[in-house]
């Protein structure tokens, strides 16, 4: 099959957890014989932190804005068997409407942020998806399974909501026998809703712990955070 994915970024994992899933998924699709094209918006913060600028398993093309996307890749989208628009794509509503209008194959939305998406929809925040758009996509792929899938179909009238869980490349992620450096670590981009838990369970514990060493890896943490002396900060840890 010919598959086009319009996603957040596959070339940079900086503050972008989507990259790990996209890389694993498209690599395996290529291994199975499918032809894949990944389209991503060229933005400065990813351009400065590209840890996989040229994946060997798929074509990658960067676009500057939606006008370039629509004019340059209309034929690719029209000819594809499947076109997938990912969550948090900039101007995702406009992109989604264009894909649904242009694609002759299956038009799908891949939500790698389902709980966040549903919360945004509930409060009327249509940054990259609207209730009307859900009903127009042929397929809603969600990294959250279970009852949420029925909710997407019954409440938002998705024609088909299916689970597509996050994935990793087993050639990159596997157990290794390494000496333990830290008693406790946290890997994740800074998020205001998660930080109180990181503070309570790791940073506060590090201040009280007499011996252990701790680590927090991930970008975008505010400089004013008072990390314990025993906490090592790693600004960016690329996938494997």
For residue range 3-23, what is the model confidence (pLDDT) as tens digits? Answer: 999 999 999 999 898 999 999
**pTM score:** 0.90
Residue 220 lies in a domain: yes
pLDDT at 112: 98
Q: What is the largest CA-CA distance in the chain?
A: 63
19, 69: one domain: yes
Number of domain units in the chain:
2
Could you tell me if residue 192 is inside a domain? yes
Same domain, yes or no, for 25 and 79?
Answer: yes
Residue 134 included in any domain: yes
Residues 114 and 68 in one domain: yes
Are 52 and 130 within one domain? yes
Residue 193 domain boundaries: 184-234
Question: Same domain, yes or no, for 88 and 136?
Answer: yes
Give the pLDDT confidence of 123-173 residue by residue, as tens digits. 999 999 999 999 999 999 999 999 999 999 999 999 999 999 999 999 988
Q: What is the pLDDT of residue 109?
A: 99
179 located within any domain: no
37 and 140 fall within a common domain:
yes
**114 and 215 within one domain:** no
> What spatial distance separates the first Cα and last Cα of the chain, rounded to whole Å?
29
pLDDT value, residue 239: 77
- 176 domain-assigned: no
Burial class of residue 57, CB neighbours in 10 A (0-12, 13-18, 19+)? middle
In a domain, 151, yes or no: yes
Answer yes or no: do 108 and 202 share one domain.
no
Q: Is residue 191 part of a domain?
A: yes
pLDDT in the model for residue 240: 61
Residue spans of the chain under pLDDT 50: none
| β strands within the chain, DSSP E | 2-6, 35-41, 59-63, 82-86, 106-111, 139-142, 161-163, 184-187, 214-217, 231-234
pLDDT of the residue at 211: 84
Closest to 36 in 3D by CA, of 77, 62, 5, 67: 5
Q: Do 157 and 228 belong together in one domain?
A: no
Q: Are residues 194 and 159 in the same domain?
A: no
Asked whether residue 149 falls in the same domain as residue 188, the answer is no
Nearest to 28 by CA among 16, 18, 20: 20
Domain termination site, one of 111, 131, 163: 163
With respect to residue 68, please indicate whether it lies within any of the assigned structural domains: yes
Instruction: Give CA separation, 211 vs 151, 179, 183, 186, 214, in Å.
Output: 48, 17, 9, 18, 10
Give me the CATH number covering residue 129.
Answer: 3.40.50.2000
Q: How many C-beta neighbours within 10 Å does residue 45 have?
A: 13
Please tell me whether residues 193 and 129 are part of one structural domain. no
């Amino acid at each position: 099959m010919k598959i086009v994915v319009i996603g957040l970024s596959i070339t940079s994992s900086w503050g972008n957890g989507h990259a790990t899933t996209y890389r694993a998924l498209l690599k395996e699709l290529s291994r199975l014989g499918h032809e894949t094209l990944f389209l991503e918006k060229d933005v400065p913060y990813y351009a400065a932190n590209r840890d996989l600028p040229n994946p060997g398993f798929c074509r990658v093309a960067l676009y500057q804005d939606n006008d370039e996307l629509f004019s340059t890749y209309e034929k690719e989208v029209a000819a594809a068997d499947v076109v997938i628009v990912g969550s948090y794509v900039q101007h995702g509503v406009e992109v989604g409407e264009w894909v649904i209008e242009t694609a002759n194959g299956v038009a799908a939305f891949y939500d790698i942020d389902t709980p966040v998406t549903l919360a945004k929809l509930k409060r009327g925040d249509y940054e990259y998806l609207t209730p009307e758009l859900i009903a127009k996509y042929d397929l809603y792929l969600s990294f959250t399974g279970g009852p949420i899938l029925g909710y997407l179909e019954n409440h938002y009238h998705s024609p088909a909501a299916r689970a597509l869980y996050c994935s990793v490349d087993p050639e990159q992620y596997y157990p290794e026998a390494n000496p333990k450096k830290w008693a406790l670590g946290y890997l994740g981009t800074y998020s205001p809703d998660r930080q109180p838990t990181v503070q309570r369970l790791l940073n506060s514990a590090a201040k009280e712990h007499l011996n252990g060493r701790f680590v927090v890896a991930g970008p975008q943490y505010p400089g004013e955070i008072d990390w314990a002396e025993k906490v090592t900060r790693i600004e960016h840890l690329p996938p494997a």
